[in-house]
Structure formats: C-alpha cells, structure tokens
Amino acid sequence: MKNNAMRLSVLMVYLSLPALLTIVGSVSGGAVDVAQLMSFFFYAAPHFLWLTVAVFAKFSNALWHAGLIAASVALSAISALWLLPQDPSGLPLQWLLYLPLAIVLQIVAAIFTFIVRAKRLKQEGWKQ
C-alpha cells in the first residue's frame, strides 16, 4: 500500500509537465475553453500508455520511472520546438512527431534500464 501511495505521488510530479503545458497553452491562447483543457490528455497520453503497460506487466520501479522520464523528455523536446520558427503552413507539425517519439524513447529507455540492471545484478553475483 505504501508503495502504491508513493507511486501515485511521483506520478503527480510526472503529470505536472503536461498539466503545466496545458495551462500555458490555454492562457496564451486567450479565452480558455474545454477543448483547450482537453489537450492535457494528448500531452499526457504517453504517460498513461506507459502506466497501463507497467501495471499489467508489473514493471520494477526502475522501468516504471524510465518510461515516464522518456515520455517527459519527448514532451519537453517537442514543446521546445515551439521556440523555432513556425512551419510556413502555420500548422503545428512538430506535434505529429510527439507520440511516435515518446513511444520510441520509452522502448529505448526500458531496454537500456533492463540491460543496466541485469548487468549490475550479474556483477553482484545474482543467480537464477
């Protein structure tokens, strides 16, 4: 139970980035409406996807964090592209890359974390 409460509080920290991005995007756009606030679910989709996979696969804490960090890195990287000049069409095309980038980063982070933990356990003399 204590572990679940800790995970929930840490999850709120990870979800603060999509929430902050939603608030900034809504406020900068002028009038706030429900559609703008619903963008939180788009920004947080990789986080929720990872949580679903992690719960069903019963990931360790390290893998759990690796996927959430990867989703946050993808969100930060894509939202940083807002600082660059806009596409001539005026469409926010960088957001087309967000979900695929997040999924790829999550897979890479999970594999890297798994390899590092397996190597560490092997060095410590772990036996099956």
C-beta separation of 62 from 44 below 8 A: no
Average pLDDT over residues 94-115: 91
Per-residue pLDDT of 17-52, as tens digits, reads: 888 877 776 666 666 667 777 888 888 999 999 989
Average pLDDT over residues 102-108: 95
- pLDDT confidence of residue 108: 96
CB atoms within 10 A of CB 123: 8
C-beta separation of 71 from 105 below 8 A: yes
